[in-house]
Structure 1
Amino acid sequence: HITVLADQTDAIAYQRTLSDALESARKANAAKSDFLSHMSHEIRTPMNAILGMTPLLLQTRVDDRQKHYLESTRQAARNLLGLLNDILDFSKIEADRMTMENEPFLLSEILENLADLLSFSAAGKGLELLFDVAPDVPYMLVGDKLRFSQVLTNLANNALKFTSHGSVTVSVRLLDKDAQQARLQVDVRDTGIGLTREQTGLLFQPF
Structure 2
Amino acid sequence: MSSADYIDLAETSERLGVSVQHVRRLAMSGEITKVARGLFDAHSVDAYRLSHPLVRTRAWAEHTAWGAIAILSGSDAPWLGTTQAARVRSTLRELTDPAHLAVRLRERARVHRLDAHHAAVSRLKNVLVVPDLSALGLAAASDGDVDGYLHRSDLAATIRALGLLPDPRGNATIRATGFDLAAVADIAERSPVLAALDATASVDPRLRGLAERALTDLLGAFQ
TM-score, structure 2 length as denominator? Answer: 0.22
TM-score, structure 1 length as denominator? Answer: 0.24
Q: Which has the higher contact order (CA 8 A, sep 6+)?
A: 2
